[in-house]
Chain A
Amino acid sequence: MRRPIRVLVAKPGLDSHDRGAKVVARALRDAGMEVIYTGLHQTPARIVEAAVQEDVDVVAVSVLSGAHLTLLPRIAAGLRDEGLDGVLLLAGGIIPDEDVPALKAAGVAAVFGPGTNTDAIVAFIKNWMEKGGADAARDRG
Protein backbone atom coordinates (compact mmCIF):
# COMPACT_ATOMS: atom_id res chain seq x y z
CA MET A 1 0.00 0.00 0.00
CA ARG A 2 1.26 3.45 -0.87
CA ARG A 3 1.69 5.42 2.31
CA PRO A 4 -0.52 8.46 2.85
CA ILE A 5 0.69 11.70 1.27
CA ARG A 6 2.67 13.64 3.89
CA VAL A 7 2.37 17.43 3.93
CA LEU A 8 4.17 20.00 6.07
CA VAL A 9 1.97 23.05 6.67
CA ALA A 10 4.23 25.86 7.82
CA LYS A 11 3.80 29.41 8.94
CA PRO A 12 6.98 31.47 8.62
CA GLY A 13 7.57 35.06 9.58
CA LEU A 14 6.07 37.41 12.07
CA ASP A 15 2.35 37.44 11.42
CA SER A 16 0.19 35.71 13.99
CA HIS A 17 -2.79 34.68 11.92
CA ASP A 18 -2.81 30.98 11.24
CA ARG A 19 -6.50 30.47 10.65
CA GLY A 20 -5.98 29.96 6.93
CA ALA A 21 -3.13 27.52 7.52
CA LYS A 22 -5.29 25.57 9.97
CA VAL A 23 -8.22 25.43 7.54
CA VAL A 24 -5.91 24.07 4.85
CA ALA A 25 -4.33 21.59 7.29
CA ARG A 26 -7.75 20.32 8.26
CA ALA A 27 -8.91 20.00 4.64
CA LEU A 28 -5.79 18.05 3.66
CA ARG A 29 -6.25 15.72 6.63
CA ASP A 30 -9.87 15.14 5.68
CA ALA A 31 -8.62 14.26 2.18
CA GLY A 32 -6.60 11.41 3.76
CA MET A 33 -3.24 13.11 4.04
CA GLU A 34 -0.90 13.14 7.02
CA VAL A 35 -0.43 16.80 7.85
CA ILE A 36 2.41 18.01 10.05
CA TYR A 37 1.57 21.45 11.36
CA THR A 38 4.50 23.52 12.63
CA GLY A 39 2.80 26.41 14.39
CA LEU A 40 3.58 30.10 14.08
CA HIS A 41 6.78 32.10 13.61
CA GLN A 42 8.90 29.48 11.90
CA THR A 43 12.19 30.45 10.32
CA PRO A 44 12.91 29.15 6.79
CA ALA A 45 15.75 27.02 8.25
CA ARG A 46 13.39 25.34 10.70
CA ILE A 47 10.80 24.70 8.01
CA VAL A 48 13.42 23.04 5.82
CA GLU A 49 14.67 20.96 8.75
CA ALA A 50 11.12 19.85 9.56
CA ALA A 51 10.64 18.84 5.90
CA VAL A 52 13.82 16.74 6.10
CA GLN A 53 12.96 15.01 9.37
CA GLU A 54 9.32 14.38 8.52
CA ASP A 55 10.14 13.07 5.01
CA VAL A 56 7.25 14.96 3.45
CA ASP A 57 6.05 15.02 -0.14
CA VAL A 58 4.68 18.56 0.03
CA VAL A 59 5.57 21.77 1.88
CA ALA A 60 2.66 24.23 2.04
CA VAL A 61 3.59 27.68 3.31
CA SER A 62 1.21 30.42 4.37
CA VAL A 63 2.48 34.01 4.41
CA LEU A 64 0.29 36.97 5.34
CA SER A 65 2.99 39.38 6.41
CA GLY A 66 4.02 40.57 2.96
CA ALA A 67 7.45 38.97 3.32
CA HIS A 68 6.70 36.23 0.79
CA LEU A 69 9.34 37.41 -1.69
CA THR A 70 11.99 36.96 1.00
CA LEU A 71 10.74 33.90 2.85
CA LEU A 72 9.63 31.59 0.04
CA PRO A 73 12.82 31.76 -2.07
CA ARG A 74 14.81 31.01 1.10
CA ILE A 75 12.69 27.96 1.82
CA ALA A 76 12.99 26.80 -1.80
CA ALA A 77 16.76 27.23 -1.72
CA GLY A 78 16.99 25.41 1.61
CA LEU A 79 15.02 22.47 0.25
CA ARG A 80 17.34 22.30 -2.76
CA ASP A 81 20.41 22.42 -0.52
CA GLU A 82 19.10 19.41 1.39
CA GLY A 83 18.47 17.52 -1.84
CA LEU A 84 14.72 17.90 -1.42
CA ASP A 85 14.18 19.54 -4.81
CA GLY A 86 11.55 16.91 -5.56
CA VAL A 87 9.31 18.18 -2.80
CA LEU A 88 6.26 20.15 -3.95
CA LEU A 89 6.40 23.70 -2.58
CA LEU A 90 3.06 25.53 -2.38
CA ALA A 91 2.32 29.04 -1.18
CA GLY A 92 -0.83 30.58 0.22
CA GLY A 93 -1.88 33.77 1.91
CA ILE A 94 -1.96 37.34 0.72
CA ILE A 95 0.26 37.40 -2.34
CA PRO A 96 -0.28 39.96 -5.11
CA ASP A 97 -0.65 38.55 -8.63
CA GLU A 98 2.37 40.47 -9.87
CA ASP A 99 4.62 38.59 -7.41
CA VAL A 100 3.55 35.14 -8.59
CA PRO A 101 5.97 34.87 -11.55
CA ALA A 102 8.94 35.66 -9.28
CA LEU A 103 7.84 33.03 -6.76
CA LYS A 104 7.40 30.43 -9.49
CA ALA A 105 10.84 31.23 -10.83
CA ALA A 106 12.17 30.66 -7.30
CA GLY A 107 10.67 27.17 -7.14
CA VAL A 108 7.13 27.63 -5.83
CA ALA A 109 4.89 25.27 -7.81
CA ALA A 110 1.61 27.10 -7.22
CA VAL A 111 0.17 30.03 -5.29
CA PHE A 112 -3.27 29.83 -3.70
CA GLY A 113 -4.66 33.19 -2.66
CA PRO A 114 -7.48 34.11 -0.28
CA GLY A 115 -10.81 32.59 -1.22
CA THR A 116 -9.24 29.51 -2.79
CA ASN A 117 -11.46 26.49 -2.37
CA THR A 118 -9.52 23.93 -0.34
CA ASP A 119 -10.73 21.28 -2.82
CA ALA A 120 -8.53 22.95 -5.42
CA ILE A 121 -5.47 22.52 -3.24
CA VAL A 122 -6.33 18.87 -2.53
CA ALA A 123 -6.84 18.25 -6.26
CA PHE A 124 -3.56 19.95 -7.15
CA ILE A 125 -1.60 17.79 -4.70
CA LYS A 126 -3.33 14.55 -5.67
CA ASN A 127 -2.81 15.26 -9.35
CA TRP A 128 0.89 15.90 -8.72
CA MET A 129 1.19 12.65 -6.73
CA GLU A 130 -0.55 10.68 -9.47
CA LYS A 131 2.07 11.92 -11.88
CA GLY A 132 4.69 10.35 -9.64
CA GLY A 133 5.17 13.01 -6.97
CA ALA A 134 8.65 13.67 -5.69
CA ASP A 135 10.11 10.61 -7.46
CA ALA A 136 8.99 11.77 -10.88
CA ALA A 137 9.98 15.37 -10.15
CA ARG A 138 13.49 14.17 -9.34
CA ASP A 139 13.71 11.93 -12.39
CA ARG A 140 12.69 14.81 -14.64
CA GLY A 141 15.59 16.62 -13.04
Chain B
Amino acid sequence: MRHATGAELAAALRAGDRRALARAISLVEEGAPGARELIQAVYPHTGRAHVIGITGSPGAGKSTLVSALARAYRREGKTVGVVAVDPSSPFTGGALLGDRIRLDGDAPDPGLFFRSLASRGQAGGLSRAASDVVDLMDAAGREVILIETVGAGQSEVDVMDVAHTTVVVTMPGVGDEIQAAKAGILEIGDIFVVNKADRDGADTAVAALEMMLDLGAGVVSVDAGHHGAGALAAPAAAPQPQMEGAAWRPPVLKTVARDGVGIPELIAALARHRAFLDASPAGLERRRRRAADRLLAVAARMLLERLARRDGRLDSLAADVAARRLDVYSAAEALLSPHPMSSQRVVGTPGTDKPGST
Protein backbone atom coordinates (compact mmCIF):
# COMPACT_ATOMS: atom_id res chain seq x y z
CA MET B 1 0.00 0.00 0.00
CA ARG B 2 2.87 2.35 0.74
CA HIS B 3 3.99 2.24 -2.86
CA ALA B 4 0.60 2.10 -4.61
CA THR B 5 -0.04 4.57 -7.45
CA GLY B 6 -2.73 7.21 -7.27
CA ALA B 7 -5.08 5.25 -9.51
CA GLU B 8 -4.62 2.05 -7.49
CA LEU B 9 -5.31 3.91 -4.26
CA ALA B 10 -8.37 5.56 -5.77
CA ALA B 11 -9.82 2.21 -6.82
CA ALA B 12 -9.06 0.65 -3.44
CA LEU B 13 -10.53 3.45 -1.35
CA ARG B 14 -13.69 3.49 -3.45
CA ALA B 15 -14.01 -0.22 -2.76
CA GLY B 16 -14.02 0.59 0.96
CA ASP B 17 -10.38 -0.14 1.86
CA ARG B 18 -9.72 1.96 4.99
CA ARG B 19 -5.96 1.71 4.72
CA ALA B 20 -6.08 2.95 1.14
CA LEU B 21 -8.14 5.95 2.28
CA ALA B 22 -5.70 6.62 5.13
CA ARG B 23 -2.71 6.39 2.79
CA ALA B 24 -4.40 8.58 0.17
CA ILE B 25 -5.04 11.28 2.77
CA SER B 26 -1.34 11.25 3.65
CA LEU B 27 -0.43 11.66 -0.02
CA VAL B 28 -2.61 14.73 -0.53
CA GLU B 29 -1.44 16.19 2.78
CA GLU B 30 2.13 15.92 1.61
CA GLY B 31 1.31 17.20 -1.86
CA ALA B 32 3.24 14.11 -2.94
CA PRO B 33 3.67 13.00 -6.53
CA GLY B 34 0.64 10.87 -7.25
CA ALA B 35 -1.68 13.19 -5.30
CA ARG B 36 -2.85 14.90 -8.49
CA GLU B 37 -3.52 11.59 -10.22
CA LEU B 38 -5.40 10.48 -7.13
CA ILE B 39 -7.73 13.49 -7.09
CA GLN B 40 -8.24 13.19 -10.86
CA ALA B 41 -9.30 9.59 -10.36
CA VAL B 42 -11.71 10.20 -7.46
CA TYR B 43 -13.23 13.52 -8.54
CA PRO B 44 -15.97 12.05 -10.79
CA HIS B 45 -17.14 10.06 -7.77
CA THR B 46 -17.49 13.02 -5.41
CA GLY B 47 -20.30 15.44 -4.69
CA ARG B 48 -22.61 13.18 -2.74
CA ALA B 49 -21.53 13.87 0.84
CA HIS B 50 -22.91 16.63 3.01
CA VAL B 51 -19.79 18.48 4.13
CA ILE B 52 -20.24 20.25 7.46
CA GLY B 53 -17.64 22.59 8.96
CA ILE B 54 -17.57 23.10 12.73
CA THR B 55 -15.71 26.17 13.91
CA GLY B 56 -15.65 28.43 16.93
CA SER B 57 -13.55 29.64 19.81
CA PRO B 58 -11.26 27.24 21.70
CA GLY B 59 -13.07 25.59 24.60
CA ALA B 60 -16.55 26.05 23.14
CA GLY B 61 -16.82 22.30 22.76
CA LYS B 62 -16.18 21.70 19.06
CA SER B 63 -14.73 18.21 19.55
CA THR B 64 -17.56 17.15 21.81
CA LEU B 65 -20.11 18.52 19.37
CA VAL B 66 -18.43 16.73 16.47
CA SER B 67 -18.50 13.40 18.29
CA ALA B 68 -22.15 13.95 19.31
CA LEU B 69 -23.05 14.68 15.68
CA ALA B 70 -21.06 11.67 14.46
CA ARG B 71 -22.93 9.44 16.92
CA ALA B 72 -26.30 10.84 15.87
CA TYR B 73 -25.61 10.37 12.16
CA ARG B 74 -24.37 6.85 12.80
CA ARG B 75 -27.63 6.09 14.61
CA GLU B 76 -29.44 7.22 11.46
CA GLY B 77 -27.35 4.65 9.62
CA LYS B 78 -25.26 7.20 7.72
CA THR B 79 -21.54 6.67 7.22
CA VAL B 80 -19.43 9.46 8.66
CA GLY B 81 -16.00 10.90 7.99
CA VAL B 82 -14.38 13.30 10.45
CA VAL B 83 -11.46 15.60 9.64
CA ALA B 84 -10.14 17.22 12.82
CA VAL B 85 -7.56 19.96 12.32
CA ASP B 86 -5.18 21.06 15.07
CA PRO B 87 -2.35 23.56 14.85
CA SER B 88 1.24 22.65 14.08
CA SER B 89 3.93 24.37 16.09
CA PRO B 90 5.48 27.05 13.91
CA PHE B 91 8.80 26.36 15.64
CA THR B 92 9.20 22.59 15.51
CA GLY B 93 6.53 21.57 13.00
CA GLY B 94 5.24 19.12 15.61
CA ALA B 95 1.62 18.87 16.66
CA LEU B 96 -0.46 17.29 19.38
CA LEU B 97 -3.68 15.97 17.87
CA GLY B 98 -6.09 15.12 20.67
CA ASP B 99 -9.52 15.16 19.09
CA ARG B 100 -9.88 11.37 19.03
CA ILE B 101 -10.16 11.50 22.83
CA ARG B 102 -13.83 12.44 22.47
CA LEU B 103 -14.62 9.24 20.55
CA ASP B 104 -16.10 6.52 22.64
CA GLY B 105 -17.18 2.89 22.46
CA ASP B 106 -15.13 -0.23 22.96
CA ALA B 107 -15.24 -1.60 19.45
CA PRO B 108 -14.18 0.47 16.46
CA ASP B 109 -17.14 1.48 14.30
CA PRO B 110 -16.56 0.62 10.62
CA GLY B 111 -19.03 3.38 9.66
CA LEU B 112 -16.86 6.08 11.16
CA PHE B 113 -13.52 7.18 9.71
CA PHE B 114 -11.70 9.76 11.83
CA ARG B 115 -8.58 11.55 10.67
CA SER B 116 -6.53 14.11 12.57
CA LEU B 117 -4.73 16.69 10.44
CA ALA B 118 -2.05 19.10 11.59
CA SER B 119 -2.33 22.53 10.02
CA ARG B 120 1.34 22.27 8.94
CA GLY B 121 1.77 26.01 8.73
CA GLN B 122 2.17 26.41 4.96
CA ALA B 123 0.19 29.26 3.47
CA GLY B 124 -3.02 27.79 2.11
CA GLY B 125 -1.91 24.34 3.23
CA LEU B 126 -4.93 23.80 5.37
CA SER B 127 -7.57 24.62 2.84
CA ARG B 128 -5.84 22.72 0.06
CA ALA B 129 -5.40 19.56 2.08
CA ALA B 130 -8.89 19.88 3.58
CA SER B 131 -10.58 20.11 0.16
CA ASP B 132 -8.64 17.13 -1.13
CA VAL B 133 -9.24 15.08 2.03
CA VAL B 134 -12.97 15.81 1.75
CA ASP B 135 -12.94 14.61 -1.86
CA LEU B 136 -11.25 11.37 -0.82
CA MET B 137 -13.74 10.69 1.99
CA ASP B 138 -16.62 11.59 -0.32
CA ALA B 139 -15.37 9.18 -3.00
CA ALA B 140 -14.94 6.53 -0.31
CA GLY B 141 -18.69 6.77 0.25
CA ARG B 142 -18.89 8.80 3.45
CA GLU B 143 -22.37 10.35 3.48
CA VAL B 144 -21.61 13.02 6.07
CA ILE B 145 -18.20 14.65 6.46
CA LEU B 146 -17.54 16.73 9.57
CA ILE B 147 -14.58 19.12 9.53
CA GLU B 148 -13.46 20.47 12.87
CA THR B 149 -11.27 23.56 12.58
CA VAL B 150 -8.44 24.86 14.69
CA GLY B 151 -10.76 27.54 15.97
CA ALA B 152 -8.50 30.54 15.73
CA GLY B 153 -7.27 32.73 12.95
CA GLN B 154 -7.66 32.50 9.23
CA SER B 155 -8.16 28.76 8.97
CA GLU B 156 -11.78 28.87 10.03
CA VAL B 157 -12.55 31.01 6.99
CA ASP B 158 -10.61 28.55 4.82
CA VAL B 159 -12.76 25.70 6.05
CA MET B 160 -15.87 27.63 5.17
CA ASP B 161 -14.63 27.42 1.56
CA VAL B 162 -14.67 23.63 1.85
CA ALA B 163 -17.90 23.02 3.76
CA HIS B 164 -21.45 23.14 2.43
CA THR B 165 -22.73 24.16 5.83
CA THR B 166 -20.69 26.00 8.43
CA VAL B 167 -21.66 25.67 12.09
CA VAL B 168 -20.24 28.31 14.44
CA VAL B 169 -20.03 27.12 18.05
CA THR B 170 -19.88 29.44 21.02
CA MET B 171 -20.78 29.18 24.70
CA PRO B 172 -22.46 31.32 27.35
CA GLY B 173 -20.77 33.98 29.35
CA VAL B 174 -17.55 34.58 27.48
CA GLY B 175 -18.62 37.96 26.17
CA ASP B 176 -18.05 36.54 22.76
CA GLU B 177 -20.66 38.59 20.97
CA ILE B 178 -18.55 41.58 20.11
CA GLN B 179 -15.52 39.40 19.47
CA ALA B 180 -17.61 37.37 17.07
CA ALA B 181 -18.69 40.46 15.21
CA LYS B 182 -15.08 41.59 14.94
CA ALA B 183 -13.74 38.24 13.81
CA GLY B 184 -16.22 38.01 10.97
CA ILE B 185 -17.65 34.85 12.45
CA LEU B 186 -21.18 36.12 11.91
CA GLU B 187 -20.65 36.16 8.17
CA ILE B 188 -19.42 32.59 7.91
CA GLY B 189 -22.02 30.82 10.04
CA ASP B 190 -24.99 29.05 8.43
CA ILE B 191 -26.03 27.74 11.83
CA PHE B 192 -25.03 29.11 15.23
CA VAL B 193 -24.81 26.88 18.28
CA VAL B 194 -24.59 28.04 21.87
CA ASN B 195 -23.06 24.94 23.43
CA LYS B 196 -22.83 24.25 27.18
CA ALA B 197 -26.31 25.77 27.30
CA ASP B 198 -26.90 24.37 30.78
CA ARG B 199 -24.67 27.17 32.05
CA ASP B 200 -25.87 30.59 33.12
CA GLY B 201 -26.21 33.14 30.38
CA ALA B 202 -27.20 30.81 27.56
CA ASP B 203 -30.35 32.73 26.72
CA THR B 204 -28.46 36.00 26.82
CA ALA B 205 -25.88 34.59 24.39
CA VAL B 206 -28.65 33.38 22.07
CA ALA B 207 -30.44 36.73 22.19
CA ALA B 208 -27.21 38.62 21.49
CA LEU B 209 -26.46 36.41 18.47
CA GLU B 210 -30.02 36.74 17.18
CA MET B 211 -29.82 40.50 17.44
CA MET B 212 -26.52 40.73 15.65
CA LEU B 213 -27.66 38.39 12.90
CA ASP B 214 -30.70 40.61 12.35
CA LEU B 215 -28.43 43.64 12.19
CA GLY B 216 -26.20 41.94 9.67
CA ALA B 217 -29.10 40.79 7.52
CA GLY B 218 -30.60 44.25 7.55
CA VAL B 219 -33.97 42.96 8.71
CA VAL B 220 -34.18 45.20 11.75
CA SER B 221 -37.41 47.14 11.59
CA VAL B 222 -35.89 50.55 12.35
CA ASP B 223 -34.64 50.88 8.79
CA ALA B 224 -37.53 49.10 7.14
CA GLY B 225 -39.17 52.16 5.64
CA HIS B 226 -35.91 53.81 4.71
CA HIS B 227 -35.64 52.94 1.01
CA GLY B 228 -32.62 55.02 0.27
CA ALA B 229 -30.45 53.48 2.95
CA GLY B 230 -28.25 51.46 0.63
CA ALA B 231 -27.52 47.79 0.09
CA LEU B 232 -27.65 46.73 3.72
CA ALA B 233 -31.19 47.98 4.22
CA ALA B 234 -32.44 46.65 0.90
CA PRO B 235 -33.63 43.22 2.08
CA ALA B 236 -35.54 44.86 4.89
CA ALA B 237 -37.40 47.03 2.44
CA ALA B 238 -38.74 43.98 0.63
CA PRO B 239 -42.02 42.57 1.95
CA GLN B 240 -41.44 39.57 4.20
CA PRO B 241 -43.28 36.95 2.02
CA GLN B 242 -40.92 37.52 -0.93
CA MET B 243 -37.97 36.54 1.22
CA GLU B 244 -39.39 33.11 1.88
CA GLY B 245 -37.12 30.57 0.24
CA ALA B 246 -34.87 33.27 -1.13
CA ALA B 247 -32.58 33.86 1.79
CA TRP B 248 -31.22 31.75 4.63
CA ARG B 249 -31.49 33.28 8.05
CA PRO B 250 -29.01 31.34 10.24
CA PRO B 251 -30.81 29.75 13.18
CA VAL B 252 -29.33 29.98 16.67
CA LEU B 253 -29.60 26.72 18.61
CA LYS B 254 -28.77 25.65 22.14
CA THR B 255 -26.95 22.38 22.84
CA VAL B 256 -25.32 20.50 25.68
CA ALA B 257 -23.20 18.33 23.40
CA ARG B 258 -21.76 16.31 26.29
CA ASP B 259 -25.27 14.99 27.10
CA GLY B 260 -26.63 14.97 23.57
CA VAL B 261 -29.12 17.75 24.38
CA GLY B 262 -30.17 19.74 21.31
CA ILE B 263 -28.39 17.42 18.88
CA PRO B 264 -31.59 16.21 17.10
CA GLU B 265 -32.56 19.86 16.54
CA LEU B 266 -29.10 20.58 15.16
CA ILE B 267 -29.29 17.58 12.82
CA ALA B 268 -32.67 18.85 11.61
CA ALA B 269 -31.28 22.35 11.00
CA LEU B 270 -28.36 20.85 9.06
CA ALA B 271 -30.79 18.91 6.87
CA ARG B 272 -32.85 22.07 6.27
CA HIS B 273 -29.73 23.96 5.23
CA ARG B 274 -28.72 21.25 2.81
CA ALA B 275 -32.22 21.24 1.28
CA PHE B 276 -32.02 25.02 1.01
CA LEU B 277 -28.68 24.81 -0.82
CA ASP B 278 -30.00 22.16 -3.19
CA ALA B 279 -33.12 24.15 -4.04
CA SER B 280 -31.97 27.76 -4.14
CA PRO B 281 -29.89 29.84 -6.55
CA ALA B 282 -27.78 30.78 -3.53
CA GLY B 283 -26.68 27.14 -3.24
CA LEU B 284 -25.58 27.02 -6.86
CA GLU B 285 -23.81 30.34 -6.48
CA ARG B 286 -21.99 29.05 -3.41
CA ARG B 287 -20.87 25.87 -5.19
CA ARG B 288 -19.47 27.94 -8.05
CA ARG B 289 -17.69 30.32 -5.71
CA ARG B 290 -16.17 27.45 -3.80
CA ALA B 291 -15.04 25.82 -7.03
CA ALA B 292 -13.54 29.11 -8.20
CA ASP B 293 -11.63 29.60 -4.93
CA ARG B 294 -10.26 26.11 -5.01
CA LEU B 295 -9.36 26.35 -8.68
CA LEU B 296 -7.47 29.58 -8.09
CA ALA B 297 -5.63 28.11 -5.13
CA VAL B 298 -4.54 25.05 -7.10
CA ALA B 299 -3.60 27.15 -10.14
CA ALA B 300 -1.55 29.49 -7.95
CA ARG B 301 0.32 26.55 -6.47
CA MET B 302 1.04 25.09 -9.91
CA LEU B 303 2.19 28.47 -11.16
CA LEU B 304 4.56 28.84 -8.21
CA GLU B 305 6.01 25.41 -8.85
CA ARG B 306 6.52 26.21 -12.54
CA LEU B 307 8.09 29.58 -11.87
CA ALA B 308 10.46 28.04 -9.39
CA ARG B 309 11.61 25.52 -12.00
CA ARG B 310 11.59 27.71 -15.07
CA ASP B 311 14.90 27.64 -16.98
CA GLY B 312 16.93 28.83 -14.00
CA ARG B 313 15.31 32.25 -14.11
CA LEU B 314 14.48 32.34 -10.44
CA ASP B 315 18.11 31.85 -9.39
CA SER B 316 19.56 34.45 -11.70
CA LEU B 317 16.84 37.02 -11.04
CA ALA B 318 17.07 36.42 -7.30
CA ALA B 319 20.82 36.98 -7.52
CA ASP B 320 20.17 40.29 -9.30
CA VAL B 321 17.69 41.40 -6.68
CA ALA B 322 19.98 40.37 -3.83
CA ALA B 323 22.83 42.31 -5.37
CA ARG B 324 20.60 45.37 -5.86
CA ARG B 325 21.07 45.22 -9.65
CA LEU B 326 17.33 44.85 -10.15
CA ASP B 327 14.29 45.82 -8.10
CA VAL B 328 11.95 43.06 -7.00
CA TYR B 329 8.95 44.25 -9.05
CA SER B 330 10.89 44.30 -12.32
CA ALA B 331 12.35 40.91 -11.47
CA ALA B 332 8.85 39.52 -10.87
CA GLU B 333 7.75 40.88 -14.27
CA ALA B 334 10.73 39.18 -15.89
CA LEU B 335 9.97 35.95 -14.05
CA LEU B 336 6.39 35.97 -15.32
CA SER B 337 7.25 37.12 -18.85
CA PRO B 338 6.37 34.57 -21.54
CA HIS B 339 9.45 35.61 -23.52
CA PRO B 340 12.93 34.20 -23.03
CA MET B 341 15.05 36.32 -20.73
CA SER B 342 16.92 39.07 -22.55
CA SER B 343 20.63 38.66 -22.08
CA GLN B 344 21.27 42.29 -21.10
CA ARG B 345 18.84 42.08 -18.18
CA VAL B 346 20.96 39.47 -16.49
CA VAL B 347 24.00 41.37 -15.42
CA GLY B 348 25.65 38.87 -13.13
CA THR B 349 25.88 35.13 -13.08
CA PRO B 350 24.15 33.19 -10.38
CA GLY B 351 26.29 32.10 -7.52
CA THR B 352 28.88 34.89 -7.75
CA ASP B 353 27.31 36.97 -5.01
CA LYS B 354 28.99 37.10 -1.68
CA PRO B 355 26.76 36.06 1.19
CA GLY B 356 27.35 39.48 2.72
CA SER B 357 25.59 41.21 -0.17
CA THR B 358 22.22 39.77 0.70
4 tightest A-B CB contacts, nearest first: A39-B101, A49-B108, A29-B94, A55-B22
Q: Which of B1, B26, B96, B101 contacts A83 (CB 8 A)?
A: B1
Closest to B102 in A: A39
Q: Do residues A53 and B22 form an inter-chain contact, with CB atoms below 8 A?
A: yes
Residues of A within 8 A of B36 (CB): none
- Kindly provide the distance from the CB of A34 to the nearest chain B CB, expressed in whole angstroms: 5
Majority-rule SS of B interface residues: mixed
Q: Do residues B100 and A38 form an inter-chain contact, with CB atoms below 8 A?
A: yes
User: In the bound complex, what is the Cα–Cα distance between A51 and B21 (angstroms)?
Assistant: 13
Q: Which of A33, A36, A46, A138 contacts B2 (CB 8 A)?
A: A138
Closest to B100 in A: A38
Interface bracket on A: 20 to 34
A-B contact pairs, 23 of them (CB 8 A): A1-B30, A4-B94, A29-B89, A29-B95, A32-B93, A32-B94, A34-B88, A35-B95, A35-B96, A37-B97, A37-B100, A38-B101, A39-B98, A39-B100, A46-B106, A48-B108, A52-B18, A54-B116, A55-B19, A55-B26, A86-B2, A135-B3, A138-B2
Q: Do residues B95 and A30 form an inter-chain contact, with CB atoms below 8 A?
A: no
Q: Do residues A46 and B107 form an inter-chain contact, with CB atoms below 8 A?
A: yes
Closest to A135 in B: B2
Q: Which of A29, A39, A43 contacts B96 (CB 8 A)?
A: A29
Tell yes or no: A50 within 8 A of B by CB: yes
A58-114 interface with B by 8 A CB criterion: 82-84, 86
- Kindly provide the distance from the CB of A17 to the nearest chain B CB, expressed in whole angstroms: 16
Residues of A within 8 A of B108 (CB): 45-46, 48-50
Residues of B within 8 A of A46 (CB): 105-108
B24-50 CB mask vs A (1 if < 8 Å, else 0) is 011001100000000000000000000
Closest to A133 in B: B2
Q: Do residues B93 and A37 form an inter-chain contact, with CB atoms below 8 A?
A: no
Q: Do residues B106 and A32 form an inter-chain contact, with CB atoms below 8 A?
A: no
Residues of B within 8 A of A50 (CB): 100, 108, 114
User: In the bound complex, what is the Cα–Cα distance between A134 and B120 (angstroms)?
Assistant: 22
Tell yes or no: B73 within 8 A of A by CB: no
- From known contacts A30-B92, A52-B22, A53-B22, infer whether A35 and B97 are also in contact, taking CB-CB under 8 Å: yes
Tell yes or no: B171 within 8 A of A by CB: no
Q: Do residues B98 and A83 form an inter-chain contact, with CB atoms below 8 A?
A: no
Residues of B within 8 A of A134 (CB): 2
- Kindly provide the distance from the CB of B101 to the nearest chain A CB, expressed in whole angstroms: 4
Q: Do residues B97 and A4 form an inter-chain contact, with CB atoms below 8 A?
A: no
Q: Do residues B94 and A43 form an inter-chain contact, with CB atoms below 8 A?
A: no
Tell yes or no: A19 within 8 A of B by CB: no
Q: Do residues B22 and A37 form an inter-chain contact, with CB atoms below 8 A?
A: no
User: In the bound complex, what is the Cα–Cα distance between A134 and B97 (angstroms)?
Assistant: 21
Closest to B93 in A: A32
Q: Do residues A45 and B107 form an inter-chain contact, with CB atoms below 8 A?
A: yes
- From known contacts A38-B101, A53-B115, infer whether A32 and B92 are also in contact, taking CB-CB under 8 Å: yes
Residues of B within 8 A of A49 (CB): 108
Residues of A within 8 A of B276 (CB): none
